[in-house]
A and B are shown apart, each in its own frame.
Chain A
Amino acid sequence: MNRFLLLLTLSLCQLCLGQSGERLITKQGQVSFFSHTSVEDIEATNNQVLSIVDFSSQHVAISMLMRAFVFKKALMQEHFNESYIESDIYPKCSFEGKILDLERPLPQEQTKLIKGNITIHGVSKELEIKTKIENNQDKISFSGTFNLTVADFRIKIPPIVAGNISKTIEVNFSFEEYLPYEN
């Protein structure tokens, strides 16, 4: 009986250790967004996006600081933070989701849907993101493109500048240099 318990304990421990062993993290993920209107194009990039992938549970999490977005014009960056995203109140944007039908072991390239919730400006929204997952000699990378609707996230845009900001924003992402995550 006691041996059985020991075995159980060990295997449970193994399980949780094994879990973290399959977790990968990157701190240099890139996310950029693009708004095109006839008045002006607005583009910004964040090169310090954090992401964790857990291949055993197929879960993905992403988190970034809104202040880390760099714009072409300093004033745009100030307006983005102060008036639209309100990064003093909502400093982060995060995403939590699950890779659907992940093929394992990872082939060199697969394109899968990641279904989850994105939280921007304090508003969560369900999202399905088509993502290219590459496995190049154990170098894992995620990349893709999706669109967001500004109005979904309670972002107030005054009518006078409504012509400058597109109603849908194109978001591009690329996560590389994943390393084993030890917690």
Chain B
Amino acid sequence: MKIKIHPLVLLFSLVMFNLGHSQSLLESLEKEHEEASFPVQATFKATRIGLGQSVETRNQGGLEISANTRFWNIPEDTEAFVADRVTSRFGASYAFTDRFTLGAGVTTFDGIFDAFGKYRLIYQKTGKGSPISITLFQNASLKTNPGRSINQTDSFSEKLSFGTQLLLARKFTRNFSLQLSPTFIHRNSALSPEDPTNHFALGFGGRYRIGGHVSVTSEYYYLANPIESSNTFDAFSLGVNWELTDLMLQFYMTNSHNIADDVFITQTSNNFNTRDGNFFFGFSATILLHLKQNKVKGVK
């Protein structure tokens, strides 16, 4: 019996043989990685960009304790040391789940108590998945100081304001993130009948990382319908974030001395420039404590 082997068959088998060998073990292993997709980390490094909220929420068990301060000089001649005026918001927030955070704070100068809830709707993913992150934010503030509020302060209900935000952010590159924050604010009362009590605003925020643990951040809030009875300006900030392990330090220049979220958007009474009375130096320190830690079982 004569068997004919076509030269092509021979060639084919030789090629097969070669393929089997030219593909290294590592190459065949890399193919086994299922298409992994992880939530994008560090769109912003802190839960506040500077003035306002960022899309970030802390993982379950994260307790954040923060002190946000603003220092400024007033146009009158004073003999004050370093700065004429200072205001601070002392706050705490706790992440009940990876997505849901509740927090509260008190601001000294304006006598404002505020509380907020934040819910992370969507995470931006590295592979397949959403190209943006979305977080819902809702706060309520109680303005107790009559001289420094654009609300009436006669009854409890008049002192209240509510801010609702949809935070949309995307980390475009490893260094660059942007956020858009459509905002609706309702105030329970107004000082003058001509003032609106419902405000619409749009926030723009950005982060650019300049070094391992340092980034530049900026924020601008456009207020579509400001109050009529006095002159207000859109809030702006430009600053630096510096991260030291569990501690986040934020330094910024801004034109707003208000810190509670709905307040700085609606009642920033100064334009952004370096004149006394208009220039505010902001400093925030936020420490993150992990009250609930992941269980890590090392290989022994």
Residues B16 and A16 in contact, CB atoms below 8 Å apart: yes
Which of A2, A34, A61, A92 lies in contact with B25, CB distance below 8 A?
A61
B contact residues around A78 at 8 Å (CB): 41-42
Residues B29 and A82 in contact, CB atoms below 8 Å apart: no
A147 to B45, CA, bound (A): 31
Number of chain A residues whose Cβ lies closer than 8 Å to a Cβ of chain B:
61
Q: Is A102 an interface residue (CB 8 A)?
A: no
Within 8 A of A (CB), among B38-58: 38, 41-42, 58
Once A25-B32, A172-B299 are accepted as A-B contacts, the answer to whether A72 and B212 lie under 8 Å apart by CB is: no
A contact residues around B296 at 8 Å (CB): 32, 43-45, 70-72
Within 8 A of B (CB), among A1-51: 2-3, 5-6, 9, 12-13, 15-16, 19-20, 23, 25, 27, 30-32, 34, 43-45, 50-51
Which of B19, B25, B294 lies in contact with A74, CB distance below 8 A?
B294
The contact string, 1 if C-beta is below 8 Å from chain A, for chain B 1-13, is 0111100011001
Q: List 16 A-B contacts (CB under 8 A).
A: A2-B2, A6-B3, A12-B14, A12-B16, A13-B13, A16-B21, A20-B20, A32-B296, A43-B298, A50-B33, A60-B25, A63-B32, A65-B33, A74-B58, A78-B41, A79-B245
Which of B26, B126, B174, B300 lies in contact with A96, CB distance below 8 A?
B26
Within 8 A of B (CB), among A66-98: 67-68, 70-75, 78-79, 81-83, 86, 88-89, 92, 94, 96
Number of chain B residues whose Cβ lies closer than 8 Å to a Cβ of chain A:
46
Q: Is B297 an interface residue (CB 8 A)?
A: yes
A-B residue pairs, 6 tightest by C-beta: A16-B20, A61-B25, A74-B59, A172-B299, A32-B298, A61-B26
CB distance from A71 to the nearest CB of B (A): 6
A9 to B28, CA, bound (A): 24
A158 to B26, CA, bound (A): 33
Which of A5, A19, A32, A183 lies in contact with B10, CB distance below 8 A?
A5
B contact residues around A34 at 8 Å (CB): 298
Q: Is B244 an interface residue (CB 8 A)?
A: yes
A59 to B5, CA, bound (A): 35
A contact residues around B295 at 8 Å (CB): 72
Which of B32, B245, B298 lies in contact with A164, CB distance below 8 A?
B245
Q: Is B24 an interface residue (CB 8 A)?
A: yes
Q: Is B62 an interface residue (CB 8 A)?
A: yes
